[in-house]
Structure 1
Amino acid sequence: MKKQVLYLLAVITVAAMVFVTSCQKEESFEGSNTPAKGSLQADITGDCLPKTVNGIYAAGTALVPATNTITVQINVTQTGTYVVTTDTVNGYFFRATGTFTTLGPATVTLRGNGTPFAQGTNNFVVSFDGTICDIQVTVLAAGAGAAVYTMTCGSATVNGTYTSGTALTATNTITIPITVTTAGTYTLTGSINGMTFSNSGALTVGTTSITLNGTGTPSMSGTFNLLVGSCTIPITVVAGAGVAVYTMNCAGATVNGTYTAGTALTAANTITIPITLTTPGTYTITTAPAVNGMIFSNSGTLPAGTTTITLNGTGTPTAGGTFNFTAGSCTIPVTVGGAAAAVYTLNCGGATVNGTYTAGTALTAANTITIPITLTTPGTYSISVGPINGMTFANSGTLTAGTTSITLNGTGTPTASGTFNFTVGSCTIPVTCTGGGGAVYTINCGSAVINGFYELNSDMNPCNTVNIDVNVTTIGTYVITTTQAGITFARSGSFAATGVTNITLQATGRPTSSGVKTFSFPAPSSCSFNVTVDAESPPYGWNFTITNLTPSAAYRGQDDISQLAPAGPGVAFGFDGSNSIGSDRLQFALGDINGTIAAGETYSTTVTFPAANAALFQYDTDCGTIPYEAGPTITLTSMTFTVTSHNVATQTIIGTFSGTAKNSAGQTITITGGTFTGVY
């Protein structure tokens, strides 16, 4: 692939230091790591197609990779691994990696990373395989609240066709012109006749429009008024082929059965609605989502002459009172009687654990806990404790006068032997499990999915795994292991159920040779899977060890691009490196207040520039979507960099680093023995 370097810049301001990078190195792929080829799709103006922006962006608020994303389309002309990136604008960027397995159009979602500095509209350049397109992202002011806007309801446009019984698609939208007087966020949603229209995002001051995306399936034909914001928007649904056409007589609806809080509904709990049938056909009616723990629904065919529809109730009412259920065009009230909770005292000393408990053996009806009680006031009760060691004990119902004990029924399968305490009210009840026998199983090597990057003399890390199916015929404990060329894949534990299950084998060790390696399992499995180990790709510009993950492993890679540039009262050195396939990425920046990066100087992520020599750190792993970071605003992190050499003639800076970093999910890594060599 042609080498492309968009740019890499380390910027240090009075308030903070920000490492801005975007580069795509020339990849060296071997074996299964062939790079994909293709082109980004764009319109005549150069904007990406599509150019979908998801999430809310506010100055000073860190992006959440799971929700702050952009979506683009690529026409794939050669399958293989891909890296799609943007430049870094206003302190944040977007990136996606993966594998294309088919040719033709493919939709790719890039996850956002970083923190926007200032509000405004940012233009990003998306890059893949020598092609680019543009996409715009709007950033709100720090602390921006809800937007203030006026909706022009009379000009709302309902897009797409609507047919009863046919699920909505991406073409089913509603566009509403608006005038925004105060910038901020918005959320709009409305539901009617099985359809929901919604959207959320950020708005800037001016005249624009909001597009609400439709989901769901219209249950009936006709015209329905959707209430959303200050607008009432009519939506016409035509009758689908074979769908019944009828009018519901809501006033004649009858609620059948008795409803009591805490008591599950039975076949007697129904709602009967008179109808006038115009066209026989199929129908589906549901009051979902649940209201007070109950749903009424039914579906089927209405033949000529049908005069009523009966909806069957399911669920358990959670509270007493009157609750409204929407069924088609009807709103039907259902009254639930309250049930008082029982008042009782547990006799913990008399608790009895019944049945035998063996690791790997599912509990039966004999596995119960009986607790004597002193009942003061009859009424309902509900007790559930667990799961602990794979077991749960629970029961509920009504305690009548004269009740002297409560029996909790056990479910689940113990996963290990030992004694485990279950807390029931004021009682702590020990349950002892004995060891189980070995499981009987076969491994399906054809299902193996190889994860991670394998390179000669590179440590295996938590990303190096194999997902594989195991057909269990007898539950129990197991140890699965296979070794080849210095790599061991292993997993142990207990199978709690028979049938096919998927497990993850973790790799440890370090490959001793490159090429295709075959990992085998003995009879009765008698199968094998292959792993391709790439040759080494020296020279290596960085390496470090993460000690607190399993397994502990050393990571290494190349210096893709480094830069030394003026920054405020001093200088900044930026480093951007990755492994040979670009799946792992190391980035850091050093800010020097003296105007030169010199041997013996140290830089810390716990301080800010220009008060002291400062640093920022970020590391992306192959198997993680959230980068590990260290900086002055990231609590409980501390990374120290020490420069050991700066050769101005060769423009080379060498140093060491170590410390702690964490991601936005709160997961922390401990780094030791880090070294780097950057040529700027």
Structure 2
Amino acid sequence: MSVENNMGGAKAEGTLLDSMGNCQSAIVRGSYVMDSTMTDSNYAIINVNFTGTGKYVISTDTVNGVWFIDSGYVQVAGATSIKLKAYGTPILPIASNYLVQFNGQFCSISTSTIAELDYLPTNAGSTWTYQYLPSLIGNAGPLDSFKITTLAQYIPYNSKNYYQYATSLADTFYFAKDAAGTYYEFGTVDFDYTSIFDDIGGFIEYPYLKDKSPVGTTWESGEMDVLFGSFIGATVKPGVAKTVFTIAGVNQTMNIAGKTLSNVITVKREIYFKETGGIGFTKVLVGTASYAKGIGMVDQNIVLSATDSQSVTATNWKIN
């Protein structure tokens, strides 16, 4: 933390390097979006070992319209972390490398600027915490909440890059997006983070969101082999399931986790099941999922009956 005051004019001494002479690790936070001015959420945390007290300025060069800087006064020598605030406005949607300068030494940090925020953050280490309302009942007792973390490695499939989202419940979800504003899941045709099938024959790929489509736009997933029944208190039967998606709302405003979110899109999901040997599909569940730009899914509600529902709502998130 920087401390600004008028304590003399001495210059702080120190190093950006570790004992082996290598640049110490740094963390860059915030979303970097073309033509969007930097805010307090855009910053870098760097490690510095101060060997002498005094004033300091740690800054970077300007790359793609953005730079980082912090100044202050070191009162006690030693190792500490310094927060460099980002300033400026990214010009192009490119990756950028910045030289961090202090006391004649240089280390580097990097950012990746996107053309615009979308509805599927993919930066490694991004996290979301969701709450089940009401709590789910499992073998270990009530399950109130869970956490999701974006993994660094993505999986190329069908001309898309599927990013991995690992949950604290020891499973992984796979999501992708394309340049046309369509978002895909490689998984089961039900609701995210809530399993409704007793068993499945394997994952399939399907679009779950189209961010440039107007209200009323509808599409279907493919069909997948499932066993279904327990979730609705019925006899478990084999068959096939599919989902019908409909854009229910665009440019919405929602209050989630004490924050007012704009540019929210809500998609209705209708789950259909056809028993093996049956004639046609029967609608078995209906729900909605809402997605906020720059965050992803923030709320999901499954209608269980005229009086009961199961929701999955975001309570916290940190997008790298």
Q: Compare relative contact order (CA 8 Å, sep 6+) and give the higher one, 1 or 2.
A: 2
TM-score when scaled to structure 2?
0.40
Larger radius of gyration: 1
